[in-house]
Structure 1
Amino acid sequence: MSSSCAVKSSSYEKYEIRKRNPNPKSCALLVIDMQNYFSTIATPILPNLNTTIDLCRRASIPVIFTRHRHTSATDHPMLTEWWFGDFILDGTEEAELMGSLHRETEKDAVVGKRTYSAFAGTRLEEMLVGMGVEEVIVTGVMTNLCCETTARDAFGRGFRVFFSTDATATDDEDLHEATLKNMAHGFAYLIDCHRLKQALNFS
């Protein structure tokens, strides 16, 4: 397992007044949209993300992947308008999950989605409730879009949310930091793979 956890001081720390450890008996790991389309953004966090995945597996925490894709430019007109028609078409190589992820193909669920939130128009909530999950750890890309929206949505649906600082990424550091501030202030307990390792009592 990688030991690449990095610890650094950041501007969100003054908002991080609430601290808590995830409960492995009622937690699930959400890996958001780690697809080839986002590989430039996603590749730098792969060591920390794979470490997070490995730690969760050791603690018997279920791992759920999401995959953002569209069947056409018209299946979500607002996203198409907002991003000038740049969308991830289902069935293309760009839409596939990155091969370097520590994914167990036969075991890990993959939830398809077509908007920012992994809960909108999917069965994710039903899956989590059916598994007895009360907490989620949010990882993946992009920090300020799909990860943040999924975390906010999870909080609104009554899940306790943990948001990774080092296994999420976006294309702008200011936006990444802004999301971490928002999460710490109103929605989620912040965590990184170093803290997760300590919380799970792994040496």
Structure 2
Amino acid sequence: MKPESTALVLIEFQNDFTTPGGTLHDAVKQVMDETGTVPHAVQAADAMREAGGAVLHVPISFAPGYGEITRNPYGILAGVVDSTSFVRGEWGAEICEDLTPKDGDITIEGKRGLDAFGSTNLDFVLRSKGIDTVVLAGFLTNCCVESTMRSAYEKGFEVITLTDAVGATSPEEHANAIAYDYPMFSKPMTTEAFVEALTAEKELADSSRGY
């Protein structure tokens, strides 16, 4: 895991999910509290920056009225519309304070669906930076994170998912995705294990350069 070719992709760490008062916060609060989703994502982001890796934020947002999607949404997008979530320009669509992008971070614009690659330039940015390993965290465990994970796997990236830096609307859905789906398309690991591996690689590289 070389920091210079690794990117942490933070999916939808936005107020509507992460923060009391957010439209979907109550739905994910239990899993967030049990896993420490946000603190672990902060830990991973800090470690990536320290190691010299890339931190990418991928929020989702829609214009008022949700004109970018079908007039008759169903499934997860129907829930977004019905709850009036992630409206561009409103507080709920803003990235949460704990994960406010820092100098050097990259924010990917244009996410309108589940897969972070689908309607964005994420693939272009990753490849232009020479990234071959993507590390995923965010919401929902079994939805946008999993959709992005599958696409990254298909595109030939090495994929790592941080099992305690993702959140879902129920413990059952969260656990099921991690137990049965994540190992098929990624290398699941805890944030602690990821940070240890990243730190060890940086120390090895530093020692080889005589630092």
**TM-score using structure 2 length:** 0.79
- The answer for the alignment partner of 1:176 in structure 2 is 174
1:125 shift after superposition: 0.2
- The answer for the alignment partner of 2:16 in structure 1 is 37
- The answer for the alignment partner of 1:25 in structure 2 is 4
Identity across aligned pairs (percent)?
Answer: 25
Q: Which amino acid in 1 is paired with 2:145?
A: C
- The answer for the alignment partner of 1:107 in structure 2 is 104
- The answer for the alignment partner of 1:153 in structure 2 is 151
- The answer for the alignment partner of 1:76 in structure 2 is 69
Computing the radius of gyration from Cα coordinates, the structure with the larger value is: 2
Counterpart of 1:117 in 2: which secondary structure? coil
Q: Which amino acid in 1 is paired with 2:124?
A: E
Coordinate RMSD, CA, aligned: 2.0
* 1: CA distance, partners of 2:98 / 2:182: 30
**TM-score using structure 1 length:** 0.82
Gaps of 5+ in 2: 19-24, 204-211
- The answer for the alignment partner of 1:49 in structure 2 is 41
Q: Which amino acid in 1 is paired with 2:68?
A: D
Which structure 2 residues correspond to residues 110-121 of structure 1 after superposition, within 5 A? 110-112=107-109, 113-121=111-119
Of Structure 1 and Structure 2, the greater helix share is in 2
1:61 aligns with 2:72: no
1:197 shift after superposition: 2.3
1:102 shift after superposition: 5.4
Of residues 138, 163, 166, the one that matches 1:165 is: 163
Counterpart of 2:59 in 1: which secondary structure? strand
Count of matched residue positions in the alignment of Structure 1 and Structure 2: 181
* 2: CA distance, partners of 1:201 / 1:38: 30
